Amino acid sequence: MAIYYSITFGILVIEMIIFGILVVPLPSRWRRALMKFASTSPLVANALYGLKIVFAFIFVLFIDTVNRLQRIESENHTDHGHDYSYEANLKAKRFYAQRNLYLTGFTLFLSLILERTSKLVMDMLLREEELDKVKKESAVILKDQQRIIDLESTYTQQVTELTQQLKELKREERDFETLKKQVGQQTVEYNRLVDERNAFELKLKGGVVEPKKDK
């Protein structure tokens, strides 16, 4: 195998390994760390730029292999009698051409799949990060709502207690007013009795009693 086809085979193996890493069910934290390193590392960016140039050469090899296979097929239709060495050489050329065709074709096809899969994985990880962020925000909102509900319940209880205390104060105020009226009535009655007693004493002594004016 020529050196450039050996390099193509090595790239194919590397692509298979990377594709396996992408599809294997790794923990989200590890996968996120790997994709973040791959998307932010300048070394990976330079490697990808170099691989694009390499894939351009592989595409040229693919086109050359197709043309070579077509030439071999056209030679196969020519009549060379029963030259078995020629037929064996032609079959060997066809085998190598087909092998190189499959090798370069699979390498190019897998590169496209790998690029698309990496983009899908990146999108998935971004959606997971957004989902985690939304979950955290929802948890904070729910916590705030629960705190507001608790505060509302506390305030409602306090308002109920204050209303009850206000009712008790009003009832005590009414009792105080009633007691005040009773004291006033008793004071008037007491003054009247005192006046009557004074009048009676003065009458006994023969004096004149001046009626006491109410204040």
Report pLDDT digits (tens) over 159-212.
888 888 888 888 888 888 888 888 888 888 888 888 888 887 787 876 544 554
| Better-predicted residue by pLDDT, 81 or 85 | 85
Mean pLDDT of 54-61: 88
Residue 31 has pLDDT above 50, yes or no: yes
CA distances from residue 181 to 46, 148, 167, 172, 186 in whole angstroms, order as listed:
101, 48, 21, 14, 8
Residue pair 98/72 in contact by the 8 Å Cβ criterion = no
pLDDT at 74: 78
- The angle subtended at Cα 48 by Cα 46 and Cα 53, nearest 5°, is 100
Q: What whole-number distance in Å separates Cα of residue 192 and Cα of residue 214?
A: 10
Mean pLDDT of 62-66: 89
| pTM listed for this prediction | 0.56
pLDDT at 124: 82
Residue 140: CA count within 13 A, CB half-sphere: 5
- E-only strand ranges, 56-117: none
215 — pLDDT class (breaks 50, 70, 90): very low
Looking at every residue in the chain, the average pLDDT score rounds to 81
Mean pLDDT of 39-60: 82
